[in-house]
């Protein structure tokens, strides 16, 4: 934690963990566009009630998100201090991508989105399970799981759908740099594999957020019966 390289490596490791989390979140969400949401219901119920996930992995995830955010802000402040007098004329676009230079802003936008996302899904979920004490995951009829229905209802609000879509664009911009950058940070740069990692990173950064946008728009266009 004391040196620049140690902090950079920790930033990358938390990033890798979040990349993995995002992919599994995407796979589960994507199941909601198939069938009557049965797959989504059972996956959500499993994720929400399995104690290893709830009490083992969830705290790690929350720590990972907070750590990635706090470290990102700390590094940004430190980096700003490293050049106290700015250039009168600067052309950063001549030597680096917009994404690589604006990670703090795209990252903060993703964090704002997470606030909304927690308000929409995570807080109500914690309330139902741990304050009300209803661990069944069932609707009032006592037969069907409630998760798919709740998802459909949330995405009936066009403003929410729009906010989600815009946030996924910021996420995409963040990942376009972040994915390949994490490999470089942990010391992996090889002339045979790095070009493949960069392509894979671009695919991930475009397809996953695009997939999330598709899911949000799909549910907006397909309201509950």
Partner 1 sequence: MSETTMNLTLKIWRQKDAKSKGKIVSYPISGISGHMSFLEMMDVLNEQLINEGQEPVAFDHDCREGICGSCSLHINGEAHGPDRGVTTCQLHMRMFKDGDTIFIEPFRAKAFPVIKDLIVDRTSFDRIQHAGGFISVNTSGNTQDANSIPIPKADADKAFDAATCIGCGACVASCKNASAMLYVSAKVAQFSLLPQGKVEAKDRVLNMVEQMDKEGFGNCTNTGACEVECPKGISLENIARMNNEYLKASITREA
Residues that bind partner 1 (CB under 8 A): 3-9, 75, 78-79, 81-92, 94-97, 100-101, 103, 177, 181, 184-189, 191
| CA–CA distances in Å: residue 97 to residues 92, 93, 101, 115, 176 | 8, 6, 7, 28, 10
C-alpha–C-alpha distance, residues 211 and 217, integer Å: 10
Query: What's the min distance (Å) between Cβ of 205 and partner 1?
Result: 15
**Closer Cβ to partner 1, 4 or 24, answer by number:** 4
- Is the Cβ of residue 51 or residue 191 nearer to partner 1 in the bound state? 191
Shorter beta-carbon distance to partner 1: residue 33 or 186? 186
Among 25, 40, 11, CA closest to 174: 11
- Name the minimum Å distance from CB 215 to partner 1: 30
Closer Cβ to partner 1, 37 or 72, answer by number: 72
CB of 206 to partner 1, least distance (A): 19
In this structure, are residues 156 and 223 in contact, taking their beta carbons and an 8 Å threshold?
yes
Distances (CA, A) of 32 to 97, 119, 183: 35, 20, 32
Cβ neighbours of 42 (radius 10 Å): 16
CB of 104 to partner 1, least distance (A): 9
């Amino acid at each position: 934690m004391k040196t620049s390289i140690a902090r950079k490596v920790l930033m990358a490791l938390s990033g890798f963990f979040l990349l993995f989390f995002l992919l599994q979140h995407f796979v589960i969400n994507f199941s909601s566009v198939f069938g009557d949401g049965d797959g989504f219901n059972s996956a959500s119920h499993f994720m929400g009630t399995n104690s290893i996930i709830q009490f083992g992995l969830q705290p790690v995830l929350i720590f990972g998100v907070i750590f990635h955010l706090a470290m990102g802000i700390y590094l940004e402040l430190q980096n700003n201090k490293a050049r106290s007098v700015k250039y009168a004329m600067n052309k950063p676009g001549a030597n680096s991508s917009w994404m690589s230079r604006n990670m703090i802003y795209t990252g903060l936008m993703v964090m704002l989105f997470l606030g909304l996302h927690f308000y929409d899904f995570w807080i109500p979920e914690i309330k139902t399970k741990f304050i009300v004490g209803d661990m069944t995951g069932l609707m009032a009829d006592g037969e069907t799981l409630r998760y798919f229905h709740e998802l459909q209802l949330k995405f009936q609000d066009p403003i929410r759908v729009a906010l989600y879509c815009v946030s996924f664009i910021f996420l995409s911009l963040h990942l376009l740099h972040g994915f390949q950058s994490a490999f470089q940070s942990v010391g992996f740069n090889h002339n045979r594999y790095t070009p493949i990692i960069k392509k894979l990173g671009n695919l991930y950064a475009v397809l996953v957020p695009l997939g999330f946008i598709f899911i949000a728009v799909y549910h907006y266009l397909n309201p509950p019966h």
